[in-house]
Every structure is written in C-alpha cells, then in structure tokens.
Amino acid sequence: MIANNYFSDDKDLQLIFNQLIDWEAIVKEVEGETFFDHKIYTETNNNRYEMAPSSFEEAMELYTSSLDAMGDFFGKDVSQKSQIMDRNELKYENGKVIFPKETVEIYEKFRSTGLMGYSLPREAGGLNFPATVGAFYAMIMARADVAFCMTTTLLNLAQIVSRFGTKEQIETYATKAATGESLFAMSLTEPDFGSDLNSVRTVAVKQEDGSYRLTGTKRFISQGCGLGEYPALLLTLARTGKPDGGARGLSVFLVKSTDITVAGIEKKMGLHGSPTCEIVYENSYGEILGEEGLGLTRYTAGMTNFMRLVSASGGCGGGTAAYYESLKYSKERNQFGKPIFEIPAVYEMVNKIKRETNAMRLLTLETARVIDMYQHHQIRMEKEGVADREIRKDEKVKYWSTLASILTPIAKYYSSEEGHKCTSIAVQVFGGAGYTEDYDISRMFRDSRINTIYEGTSQIHVRISTGAILAGMAGDGNFRKYLTSLKEEIPNPSSFLLEQESLLEKSILEMRKIESESRKETVAENLMIQMARYLCTLLYEKAIPKIKDENDRDIWEKDCRSYAIDSAATAQSSLYRIQFFE
C-alpha cells in the first residue's frame, strides 16, 4: 500500500477538515462555553484533564496534531503491515486464539502513541474527542487496515461504561481501555438470533452478592478473545426477565474474556486479522451495566449507533484506499503507449471512486456533526442526575437526536454500500492484477464487504429508516425542515439537484400510497438510495462556495456536477421501481 501520512497527505481530507466543518459550534458543544474540563484541571491538577483545551484554538491544535499523528502511524506503519497481518492468519488452538506476531507488535506500538481512547471522556483517561473527529479517525484507520481498525474502534465502546457504569466500573474497566490494557467487544448475536435481538436466549441469574452468572452461547463476536495477552471486556446482552419477555427482559453485563470459553473462530472471506469468535458462557461471572431491563433499548442502542457511525466511516476509508491505490496504479501501468489513466474509460472509473468517496465523507461527517450537536449536552444532563423524561423533553436533545436517528442508518447504509462498490471499481482498474493477491486491492475488496453486513445489514437499515423518513418528510416534519435549511445555504442549486428533489417528493407520495407492507418493504431500498444521494448532493453543493482555492473549487464543482447527474439518473430509476415493481 501507499506509505504516507493518511491525514496530512490526503488533499481532499485536508480540505474538508480545514474548510467545510463548523468546528466552532462543535467545540462549543463538546467543551462547553467555559471549557469545563480545563476548569477541572486548573482546580484539581488531575492529570487526566491535562490535555483539556482552554480555548477554541487549543482544541483545534489538539484535534489537528492528534489526527496528524494518527495519519502518520496508520499510513506508515499499519498500512505496511496490513498484507502480512492478512496473510499470516489467526490460529485457534486448545481454546485460545493465536495472533501473528506482527499484529501484537503493531498493537503495542499503537498503545505507545496515546491515541487509543479518542471517544472516551477524560474522567476515564480518554481524549474526549467529538464524534466528528472520531469519524476522521475511523476513515484514516479503515484506509490502512479494516481489521486493525475494528480493534481500536471496539476498544472505544468503553464510552458506554463511562456513561452508564458506576464509578468503580469506570475505574476498573473504562480506564484500562484508554491505555489499551484491555480491549472491548460487543457480545450480542447468538447462533439463532442476529438482527432479532429481542429473542436472545443467554440467561443472567442474579446472585446474593449482587453479581450475575451468565449461561449461553454468542456467535460472530469480533475481538471477543482479546488480543494476545491483552484481555477483552465483553458487553454482553442477556435475559434477566422471562424467556418470552422481549426487549424489556434484556440487560447488558460486563464479562471478562478470561471468564468465558472461546469455542472457535470463523474462517472468513475477509478481515483475516480480526478474530470473529463463538463464545460460550458457563455460569460466567458478570456485572450489570446500569439498570435491569434497559439492555436493548438504552445500552445496546448506544453501542450500535456508535459502531454504525464507525461502519460509515469505514466505507469512506475503503473508498479512499481504492481511490489512491487505483490512481497510483493507473498512472504507472502503460498500455497502447501511455498510462491507462489517460484512457477515458479508466479515467472515469478512477474519478468516480474519488467523487463517490467525497460524497460519503460529507454525509458521514454531517451525521457525526449532528450527533455532536446534542450528545455531549445529553451526557452532561445524565451525569447531573436529570431524569430521563426531562432529558427527552429538552429541545436541543429532541431536535438533534431525531435527526441523528434518521441520518445514522442512512450514512451507515450508503457509505457501506458505496465503499464496497468503490473497491470493486478499483479491482477493475487493476484488471487481471487486481484479481490476484499480488496487490492490496483484493484484500480491500474482501474486507469492505463486511460493512454491508455487520452492525445491521443494509436491509435492516432500510427497514428501520423507511418509516422515519416518511414521518420526517411530513409537511412540518423536522427532517424536511433540516433538508430545507441545507438547501438554503446553496446560493444557486443546480438543475440536477432540483430534479432529484422533485423525483424524491414523487417517490414519497408513491410510498405513502402503498397499502401492502410486504410490497412497501420490497421497494423501500429505492427510497433510501434516493434520500442518501439527495443528501450527498445537497452537502456537495453546499460545500462548493466554502472552498477557498479557485483551482480546488473548480475540481470539486466538476465532481459535484457529475455526482448530481448520476444521482438524478438514480432517482428516476428508483421512482420507476417504486411505481411499478411488484
């Protein structure tokens, strides 16, 4: 793979970071107008708060320097070991997962950077970065190696413990994640229940000392075994209520990987460097997280929403890798007396990857921004003991969380699907060489496929989004108002954007006419595609006037126009399917 700084040497990513993000609003939401955490540091001299910024400028310097260090490590270290870690596959022997020495070495080197706990609050030893910075992190990591990216992003699930756990649990578990001393894993799926988590059968029985004992089997648990000598903490969904109690009978438990049995690991198409485990709980010790009965509705939802944003960012990272690797190859590979990049059909493939990737980035980062506009405020209210009912009534939380609940599945769906398509196009650019294991592009193609499956399949995201989109697009719906506000920031909307808008409105009307739930579900993906591409076109056109350099602006404008044309064509075909497909 290309070896350079995956942040500072990525021109488009730099442009987006420096010119297209409203950092002032984000910093204000994360750090507060009075910079809460810095105030704690000045009053207590607690070294966990030492890095807390005291001003907007300090916050930006911290974000920039951290992303630069992340880009350097993943672009020059991880990317150069990714092929080795993929080929020297994991081994399972006598109940233990054995990692290639290169994986352990790169993990230990990453620990020394101090960059691991990017999403954890400072009280748990983390960096307390915004979701927007976290999205940049995941884009950089996924470009280098999706499997290793999973290790780091899963580790940041410790934020759920720091948010809902006791002080003792924060000190015992979350702080160890911040240093990389312990990994984290989501232990939700069972052999018979994946998307249907309401029906999980793993049972937790309360003991006299307040702890629980868990019995059951979980499947497809990424990183459930830990890594080498580093254990994992499994955030385990189990039933405390009646077997037929549904969601209200489920709770989340903290279970150490040393207290379970790894029955085996999956032999997978991709992600060869990331263990996907079958976990057996046999009267395993567990501590409850938060309250009984809120495992699925509150704690699991928090985990999955975080990982869905990670998945969206991963799609962007896959697209970025596909673009730069195919650009390099097409400029070096000569046919007919010239680089194949100069052949119009090849040029269009490479450029399509670039514009699709930038569209994914804009959508994912906008989703992260929307999350930042309420989540930190909500967590502060929780820590202050404000009742859930009052938090839900809070105007800021109500407005932005509603938008986030719509945007997150759209971003996850779209970036996962398009990211995989981008790696497929890149294989085509490489031709026969792309179909071999001689180049990294075949691994990228294999690894990107998982994005459309884990953290909720694309079809699940379509299913949960359709009703929310239709409700949000009602005459006075918040989502409609939000889209209108984006459009109002565009000085001269293109005819292609306006055509998409018209076709989208027609599709919404057609969807509302459908009486059969089965047929509605069959054609719903067409509405999802339309909405995602309309959103991306809005964000693309909104970005153009903010670009300072005239040459950069011209390039982006050309890419935006091509993207809008593709999107208008997609909208027309999507409407046709909604109208006539049975």
- The DSSP code sequence of 102-131 is HHHHHHHHHHTTT-S-TTS-GGGT-----H
CA-nearest of 531, 572, 317 to 411 is: 531
List Cα–Cα distances, 336 to 116, 340, 341, 432, in angstroms: 48, 8, 12, 17
User: In whole angstroms, what is the distance from residue 529 CA to residue 511 CA?
Assistant: 14
465's enclosing H/E stretch is helix 458-472
CA-nearest of 254, 239, 241 to 187 is: 254
CATH class of this structure's domain 182-293: mainly beta
How many H-runs (helices) and E-runs (strands) does the chain carry? 22, 11
Split at pLDDT 50, 70, 90, the class of 196 is low
* Residue 262 predicted with pLDDT over 90: yes
pLDDT given for residue 244 in this prediction: 67
CA-nearest of 93, 64, 136, 151 to 367 is: 136
* Residue 199 predicted with pLDDT over 80: no
Mean pLDDT, to the nearest integer, of 314-323?
A: 97
Whole-model pTM: value is 0.95
Name the residue with higher pLDDT: 224 or 244.
224
Mean pLDDT, to the nearest integer, of 272-276?
A: 94
pLDDT given for residue 301 in this prediction: 80
Split at pLDDT 50, 70, 90, the class of 194 is low
Pull the structure tokens for residue 534: 């309309």
pLDDT given for residue 377 in this prediction: 92
Residue 68, number of CB atoms within 10 A of its CB: 14
* Residue 420 predicted with pLDDT over 80: yes
Mean pLDDT, to the nearest integer, of 114-118?
A: 93
CA-nearest of 304, 6, 274 to 152 is: 274
Question: What type of residue sits at position 386?
Answer: V
Question: What type of residue sits at position 453?
Answer: I
Beta bridge partners of 239: 203, 250
CA-nearest of 147, 150, 145, 105 to 3 is: 145
CA-nearest of 238, 241, 244 to 218 is: 238
Mean pLDDT, to the nearest integer, of 10-35?
A: 97
Residue-averaged pLDDT of the chain: 94
pLDDT given for residue 253 in this prediction: 96
pLDDT given for residue 125 in this prediction: 96
Residue 539, number of CB atoms within 10 A of its CB: 21
Show me where the domains of the chain are located: 182-293, 458-580
User: In whole angstroms, what is the distance from residue 571 CA to residue 497 CA?
Assistant: 10
Split at pLDDT 50, 70, 90, the class of 195 is low
pLDDT given for residue 146 in this prediction: 95
Mean pLDDT, to the nearest integer, of 302-312?
A: 88
Query: Contact 325/1 with Cβ under 8 angstroms?
Result: yes
**What is the end-to-end Cα distance of the chain in Å, rounded?**
45
Pull the structure tokens for residue 223: 């990183």
Split at pLDDT 50, 70, 90, the class of 294 is confident
pLDDT given for residue 531 in this prediction: 98
User: In whole angstroms, what is the distance from residue 376 CA to residue 368 CA?
Assistant: 12
Whole-number percent of the chain with pLDDT over 70: 98
Query: Contact 470/509 with Cβ under 8 angstroms?
Result: no
Per residue in 440-481, pLDDT (tens digit) is 999 999 999 999 998 889 999 999 899 999 999 998 899 999
Per residue in 502-550, pLDDT (tens digit) is 999 999 999 999 999 999 999 999 999 999 999 999 999 999 999 999 9
User: Considering only 242-256, 371-385, 499-513, which range has the smallest mean pLDDT?
Assistant: 242-256
Mean pLDDT, to the nearest integer, of 554-562?
A: 98
